[in-house]
Structure 1
Amino acid sequence: MDQRMAKHSPRARDVNHSNVLQREHRAVEEGTGSAVTRDFYCHRCSCKVTEYAHADGRAEELADVALYLCRTCAAEAQRKGTETVGEYRILQRLGRGGISVVYKAWHAPTCRLVALKKVVPESSSREGAEEVFQKEVKVMQTLIHPHIVRLIDYRMVEKPYYLVYEYLPNGDLYTYVQKHTVSVTDICRIFCQVLEGLEYMHRKGIVHRDVKPHNILLTLDKKAKLGDFSCVKNLHEDGILKGDHGGLPFLTPEEILNHDYVKSSTDVYAVGVSLYYILTDTFPFHFASPEEIIKAFLIKKKPKDPIDMVLQHKKELESELRRVIGNSILREDRILIQSYRKDIPATLAAIIDKSVAKNEENRFKSAQEMREALVLYLTDECASMKRS
């Protein structure tokens, strides 16, 4: 076994990354003394699972993030022919990205509910897929914060490669607001938490690069946690992975012009676009929809079989989509948020419009600056409500 493999062997992996996570956990929880043994309960039926929760010795370390499912409830949740990945049993598919798929899973020894991110079979042999996962692991081992999703486990020695994160039952912010009514004030509080997580990351020289509503996850009590670090960049390291940008509409004009442009302020811009999008269900600039782009493409090609043409020219269509959206980000004037939402208070509208400004010099320079502006707005809003 070579030195690299020995370092990442299952036994060494569990010990090493557990130690790192525990050290970071103690560092952020100031004033904690010796660990206190507590009871843990099933997330669904509330029966006690304490004995199982302590099986791997990490129950206290993960007490603030772990959810549990007793064996009876887990058996009911599992479908016939349930896939097993290591010690984890797949319960439900949650989503898919470029090289990975995310599942809700159950850790049999501890009864812990988790989100398991696995490299999809067609990507596991692709150049760079392993490197992306390795990079994510390396960064996530250093990030322990209340508003950043917690890495719990991983396997990078043998296929299938996977990462294991805490499970967030309320899902992503975009899907949540489609199903529930959330006040403007609560939305702003959520984004303050996202910015707080980014402040922590940026102080460490780490840029997320894929901030968007689908990557803002919600805990049981609706606290925000930033997730999906597959595009993450450590500014203290040299080099950059190809194709590790996030969603195109959330990129700054600077990133459109220069793919290698990386600054912490680009995350802040993405937060602004995300906040704008959550409040309006649209972007702060006009661009043709994917359907319109495909229609124009087909009119130009005049194919006999449109469906076959789309399938055969998928990459060309994706390139055209990037070109159209990119040009809109670069050329289109920003649409003031009150054009869509006249009920948005002027103070808040000014914060949002500043955060998505086309010119970098007119935007917030840091996550802290934008968060402080939102906190001041929320403070004044609260005081105003009390007076009335």
Structure 2
Amino acid sequence: MTLIVTRGPLDGRTFEFAERTSCVLGRAADCQPRLPDDDDHRKVSRHHCLIDINPPDARIRDFGSLNGTYLNGKRIGQREPGQTPEQGAAASFPEHDLRDGDEIRLGDTVLRVDVKRDERPARLDRTKVVPRCVHCGADVGGEIGGREGEYVCAECRNSPDELVRDLLGGAVGGVRYTIEKVLGEGGMGRVYLARNVATGQAVALKMMLPGVAADPDARAQFMREISVTQGLDHPNIARLHEAGSHGGVFFFTSEYCAGGSLADRVARGRLGVDEAVPLILQALDGLEHAHGQGVVHRDLTPHNILLAADGTVKVADFGLAKAFDQAGLSGLTRTGTAAGKPYFMPYQQVVNFRHARPAVDVWALAACLYHLLTRDYPRDFAGGKDPWQVVLQTQAVPIRQRNPDVPRPLAEVLDAALVDRPQIGFPTAADLRRALVVRGL
């Protein structure tokens, strides 16, 4: 997807996006694309609007700008006269899908959306064949937006247990499993406790439903990305076993962690330092190993830091969000759902999602420790303010303001770890681990 400036001082300038990202348009130095901070662009706010991109799909949302964002001549967001930027940011503006040929206007600058799909031989004549759900046969042409490939309709998506029974009927990776219970549900699907019929081994089976039709190329791309994470071998990383797709459903099986997640643990009450810090130290060990193999998690939260039956920490879901994104299967979720809110994301990941580096995982893990000790997020997300604006405009609250019982040496480490501008406080997992060992215990 390319944004082409067709009117304004930057006429002819192009901004190209070939992979999953979220970007902020405006005059501020951290915006990408950034419009000049000069007299010609005074009608453009510093943080004007957010575009969520998963080529060829994209959505746009105004950020409470002074002069409004316009899509094809229609205003889609603008703060009220007399409101401050902070008050405007607290308003909720709807997201709008972007299509090929759409025009976006910010002040006097107009950008045209140009979407180019891969040149591939035609597989389906849609004038003759109606795209249908692979499970019930319902017409899904309006749901998939012209995509080709297998798709599960909205009604079947509401019956995940039936889908997993169909999946098991086709065998998972050539292995037969039985389902024992539901372990949890998230933005991409449902997780089950399953058991290998032949060996009796318990595993976690996650079923993921693509937000768009899944063609053979998307499935192959998903498996290429997953193969990288299957190579991770560390006692503090949940082992990924089988992965694949069947009947429009993507799946993987991984090591089962009977102790639940850190989210389950903190839901019962905040943890003491003597319990929380050793847990995070183990997670940092797993993180360091993954980063050494070139794998960045990009979605670390207490929900995917798990506990084995013996209490060993297991970081889970390495690379899964990226695999789904890179294959173009996830639809657009980061800005549109609760799972996509940046409670554990640093500033760098919001302004440049596609270039996420290992340091963003280190920041996220420090945010997890903060959460264990306070049962709160590092930033204040209260008051209905757009959470992405919160990340852009605010810093982490010093932890002793949340919990005065946190020892000062540990507080100093965490406060330093949660700095994210101009750069993240601790760039590597080893750096944060060393600081916690020296001053946090």
TM-score range, shorter chain: 0.5 to 0.7
2:353 aligns to what SS in structure 1? coil
Amino acid at match of 1:204: Q
Counterpart selection for 1:346 from 408, 412, 415: 408
- 1:136, CA displacement in angstroms? 4.9
Partner of residue 218, structure 1 = 307
CA distance in 2, matches of 1:240, 1:356: 32
Amino acid at match of 2:321: C
- 1:165, CA displacement in angstroms? 0.6
CA distance in 2, matches of 1:352, 1:280: 12
Superimposed CA distance per residue, residues 124-158 of structure 1 (whole angstroms, 9 cap, x where no aligned partner): 83579746742552122210110100012233466
Superimposed CA distance per residue, residues 242-261 of structure 1 (whole angstroms, 9 cap, x where no aligned partner): 86866512222122222322
Higher-helix-fraction structure = 1
Amino acid at match of 1:259: F
Partner of residue 286, structure 1 = 380
1:208 aligns to what SS in structure 2? coil
Partner of residue 98, structure 1 = 187
- 1:104, CA displacement in angstroms? 0.6
Amino acid at match of 1:258: N
Partner of residue 242, structure 2 = 153
Describe the shift of the 1:362–1:259 C-alpha distance in structure 2 as closer, same or farther (beyond 3 A).
Answer: closer
CA distance in 2, matches of 1:135, 1:243: 21
Partner of residue 275, structure 1 = 369
1:317-336 to structure 2, matched below 5 A, reads: 324-336=386-398
2:354 aligns to what SS in structure 1? coil
Superimposed CA distance per residue, residues 271-298 of structure 1 (whole angstroms, 9 cap, x where no aligned partner): 1111111211111222235xx46xxxxx
CA distance in 2, matches of 1:158, 1:364: 44
Counterpart selection for 1:231 from 321, 330, 341: 321
CA distance in 1, matches of 2:269, 2:400: 22
Q: In angstroms, what is the RMSD of aligned CA positions? A: 3.2
CA distance in 1, matches of 2:331, 2:244: 23
- 1:331, CA displacement in angstroms? 1.1
Counterpart selection for 2:213 from 104, 125, 128: 125
Partner of residue 40, structure 2 = none
Higher-strand-fraction structure = 2
1:231 aligns to what SS in structure 2? helix
CA distance in 1, matches of 2:224, 2:418: 29
Superimposed CA distance per residue, residues 31-50 of structure 1 (whole angstroms, 9 cap, x where no aligned partner): xxxxxxxxxxxxxxxxxxxx
CA distance in 1, matches of 2:321, 2:250: 17
1:126-141 to structure 2, matched below 5 A, reads: 126=214, 130=219, 133-141=222-230
Partner of residue 355, structure 1 = 417
CA distance in 2, matches of 1:111, 1:257: 46
Describe the shift of the 1:278–1:111 C-alpha distance in structure 2 as closer, same or farther (beyond 3 A).
Answer: same
Amino acid at match of 2:349: E
CA distance in 2, matches of 1:240, 1:363: 33
- 1:180, CA displacement in angstroms? 6.5
1:185-224 to structure 2, matched below 5 A, reads: 185-224=274-313
> Matched residues, percent identical?
30
Partner of residue 63, structure 1 = none
Superimposed CA distance per residue, residues 72-103 of structure 1 (whole angstroms, 9 cap, x where no aligned partner): xxxxxxx9xx9471211111112223333211
How many positions carry a matched residue from both structures? 264
Amino acid at match of 2:258: P
Describe the shift of the 1:96–1:362 C-alpha distance in structure 2 as closer, same or farther (beyond 3 A).
Answer: closer
Q: What TM-score results when the alignment is normalised by the length of structure 2?
A: 0.54
Q: Tell me, which stretches of 5 or more residues in structure 1 are unaligned? A: 1-78, 294-323, 382-388
Runs of 4+ in structure 1 deviating by more than 6 angstroms, as ranges, are: 239-242
CA contact (8 A) 1:124 1:130 kept: no
1:264 aligns with 2:264: no
1:273 aligns to what SS in structure 2? helix
